[in-house]
Amino acid sequence: MLLLIPGPVQTRPEVKAAMAQDIAPWDRDFQKVYARIRERIVGVAGGTPGVHATLPIQGAGHFVSEAALRTFVAPGAKVLIPMNGAYAQRMARLAREAGRVVVELALPDTRGATAADIMPVLDADPSIGTVAMVFNETGSGIVNDAEGIGRALHAAGKRLILDAVSAFGALPFLAPLAPAILAGRPFRVSREGLERLALHDLARAEKDELLPDFVAESGRLYREILFGRARLPAGAVRCPVLVVHGAADRLVPLRVARGLARRWRGELAIIPNHGHWLVAGSLAAIVLPVIGEWIDRAVPAA
């Protein structure tokens, strides 16, 4: 089971240090910070700048769920909610208290909801225009198939409201592959997943050129990368080390790159505005000078 817990959790020292400063949200100095946070959330969500937008709301997780229900579902309109956990029950209560008509889809709390569960209900009642569900139910640990359901709803012209409090930013598009990754088994990412996760910052033509060359990934290797458990002992590395990381990487968290650099006493170079596939030909003019400058400094001349 992949356990995703929103809190309370221990906060890292650098996060606590950042929180020690007084911030007034209405100050002009904070406007740039707020804008940067909104942009980064779009990236984490797999969105497209200029097409998608984010609106952070202060408060508990259900604040956002209630705001979305009241905003996107008209009073008296129907909303379908798959009921397979405690947070689904809370979402149904919030919708009813807001004057929306809740259509409950009873499901066991031992598996996630799929499009095969959702679409027959919508076909039977075309007046249902919205599905609201919880991505990950922390009480049971199940993960609903948000990507599959979202794709089916989009094709049917329906809306999805997704409560992703405990899943967002963890494995947003790799959730269906989590069992293989955690077990260390080979897995294959879909074309859509590759475009959203590994190649999202590349041009369409370059994506089309690269996609046919992808093969099954090592679940064991990705698990070790994801959790920062490098097997190579720190003492075994005696040469200079440079860790190059894309600031917009949606596969490997920045904390992992920092951990590798720290473990092997190396330097960390962060490439701004770019993601995971830093070996792309279109990025050579950006990445290679960074590496070349480091070699000039770190490697003694012959």
131, 146 in Cβ contact below 8 A? no
> How far is 2 from 143, CA to CA, in rounded Å?
9
Residue 88 has pLDDT above 60, yes or no: yes
91-119 confidence digits (pLDDT tens): 999 999 999 999 999 999 888 899 999 99
> How far is 275 from 250, CA to CA, in rounded Å?
7
Percent of the chain with pLDDT over 90: 39
Q: DSSP code of 142?
A: -
Give me 87's structure tokens. 């947070």
Among 42-56, 169-183, 239-253, the minimum mean pLDDT is found in 169-183
Average pLDDT, the chain: 84
What's the pTM value of the predicted model, to 2 decimals? 0.58
Per-residue pLDDT, averaged over 31-35, amounts to: 85
Q: How much is the pLDDT for 182?
A: 57
Pairwise pLDDT comparison (232 vs 175), residue with the higher score:
232
Q: How much is the pLDDT for 16?
A: 84
> How far is 79 from 130, CA to CA, in rounded Å?
5
Three-class secondary structure of residue 10 per DSSP: coil
Percent of the chain with pLDDT over 70: 86
Pairwise pLDDT comparison (130 vs 249), residue with the higher score:
130
Q: How much is the pLDDT for 161?
A: 93
Per-residue pLDDT, averaged over 57-74, amounts to: 89
Give me 68's structure tokens. 């979305």
Per-residue pLDDT, averaged over 261-283, amounts to: 92
144-156 confidence digits (pLDDT tens): 888 788 888 988 8
Per-residue pLDDT, averaged over 113-138, amounts to: 93
Q: How far is CA 43 from the centre of its chain?
A: 8
Q: Which residues in 54-175 belong to E strands, given as ranges?
A: 78-83, 101-106, 130-134, 159-163
Buried b (16+ CB within 10 A) or exposed e, 83-112: bbbebbebbbebbeeeebebbebebeeeeb
189-225 confidence digits (pLDDT tens): 778 778 877 898 899 999 999 999 888 877 777 767 6
Residue 280 has pLDDT above 80, yes or no: yes
Q: How much is the pLDDT for 7?
A: 58
Residue 1 has pLDDT above 50, yes or no: no
Tell me the domains of the chain and their CATH numbers.
Answer: 38-163 (3.40.640.10), 191-298 (no CATH)
Phi-psi region of 113 (alpha: psi -120 to 50; beta: other; left: phi over 0): beta
